[in-house]
Structure 1
Amino acid sequence: MSLTPVSPQRYGTVAMSLHWLIALAIIANLAIVFLIEDMPRPDRMFWMGWHKSIGLTVLILSLARVAWRLTHPAPAHPVGISPAQRIAGAALHHLFYLMIIVVPLAGWLMVSTNPRPIPFFGLFDFPAFPGLSGMTREEAHPYHELFENIHVLVGWAFVFLVPVHIAAALYHHHFLKNNVLLRMIPGSKLRP
């Protein structure tokens, strides 16, 4: 397997890999939340274990993604992108960077208020966030509620913004016929 080099026109292999892994994990977690609603409690708890493990994975990958992005600039915008599109694109990307940290972090903080361990794909117990474990249920309740509200509210923003992000990428590809989408697809050939 050859690595895609970073260039002024496209993202490199690391950025692409992190982008697609995080995207797939977020979509999987959204699907889990919607599919388990009517399941019996034991099934719901099983899938919530997966939801937590995937969410913690998103947090780890997202921290790596942000660190990578801070040290490796994004490719330049294709020629012909209007200032309004640049501003909208930058705003959406910054919002996504914030959300891919806030949603799983709030989830980790929320489950850390519970005395039960946080299994990570059944391999080991993920540590609780420092300072949140060991509280009584009454002491932990307001923190749990706060973190749950943030997790759910920003999670719903994903439900809205992921389709907007996909639609914008497809608009650039099919209507503007530029490389905005292609520069994030591994092995794709850029348009001249």
Structure 2
Amino acid sequence: MTLHWLIALAIITNIVVILTVPEDRSPTAIAMMQFHMALGLTVLVLSILRLVWRWMNPLPPPPQGLNHWIRISGAAMHHLLYFLMVAIPLAGWLMVSANHFSPSWFGLFHWPAFPGFAGLDKAAGHQWHETFESIHVVLGWAMVVLVPCHIAAGLYHHLVRKDNVLIRMLPGTRLREGV
């Protein structure tokens, strides 16, 4: 639950940052991009930890009486979100690694280049940078669409279905069983 909310906060913050960063090379824009990269790398690490946690701790059962299509769409949404939580920051890391750029992790240390990318020549690095930038942007827009859908689904469960799906994800709750 803690990982869910930390990752959610980081993703939403990163979406806001990237959508509001000035399109110039000003110190503000550079600082916002550095923050975006550091937070993205944090999402990558936390998401991998969350996947390990999920592998060791299966999901609680869904609410009883849940429509088959809602179960399938919910599972698909979760799988896609997990994929994006890893693939987006990974593509970003690959993108900056191809450019021989080592982002600072909140000023504490420089994140290393992805293995195998440190020795790329400038032309190959540029080509890989462009490829991973395209992937990063397309997947990022998918996340921009899916986050509000995920939030809406939680609100649908709480306000319309009146089941415990949202409640069991709130901090301080112990409710884990299906209703």
TM-score by length of structure 1 reads 0.88
The aligned amino acid for 1:128 is: A
Residues 1:46 and 2:10 are matched in the alignment: no
CA distance in 2, matches of 1:122, 1:74: 36
Superposition pairs for residues 49-68 of structure 1, below 5 Å?
Answer: 49-68=34-53
CA distance in 1, matches of 2:110, 2:22: 25
Confirm whether residue 161 of structure 1 aligns to residue 146 of structure 2.
yes
Q: Which amino acid aligns with 1:88?
A: S
Q: Is 1:73 the equivalent of 2:58?
A: yes
Where has structure 1 moved over 6 Å in runs of 4 or more? none
Q: Is the 8 A contact 1:182 1:189 kept in 2?
A: no
Q: What is the one-letter code of the residue matched to 1:63?
A: I
Question: 2:67 maps to which residue?
Answer: 82
CA distance in structure 2 between the partners assigned to 1:45 and 1:152 by the alignment:
18
The code of the aligned residue for 1:76 comes to P
SS of equivalent residue, structure 1 residue 175: helix
Q: Aligned partners of 1:115, 1:101: CA distance in 2, in Å?
A: 21
**Matched AA of 1:112:** S
**Aligned letter for 2:65?**
G
| 1:82-117, Cα deviation, whole Å (9 max, x unpaired) | 111100100000000101000000000001112232
Contact 2:63–2:165 (Cα < 8 Å) also in 1: yes
Q: Distance in 1 between matches of 2:92 and 2:102?
A: 14
CA displacement at 1:134 relative to structure 2: 3.0
Q: Which amino acid aligns with 1:167?
A: A
Kept in 1: contact 2:100–2:117 (CA 8 A): no
Q: Compute the displacement of 1:30 (Å).
A: 0.5
Q: Counterparts of 1:10-159 in structure 2 under 5 Å?
A: 16-38=1-23, 41-159=26-144
Stretches of structure 2 lacking an aligned partner (at least 5 in a row): none
Alpha-carbon separation, structure 1, partners of 2:67 and 2:22 = 43
- Letter aligned with residue 15 of structure 2: L
Q: Give the Cα separation in 2 of the matches to 1:88 and 1:20.
A: 21
| Runs (5+) with no aligned partner, structure 1 | 1-15
The offset of 1:158, in angstroms, is 0.8
- Please tell me the root mean square deviation across aligned C-alpha atoms, in Å: 1.6
Q: Which moved more, 1:82-91 or 1:128-137?
A: 128-137
Cα offsets for 1:22-66 (capped at 9, x unmatched): 110001110011111356622111110000000000000000011
Sequence identity (%) = 51
Structure 2 letter corresponding to 1:174: L
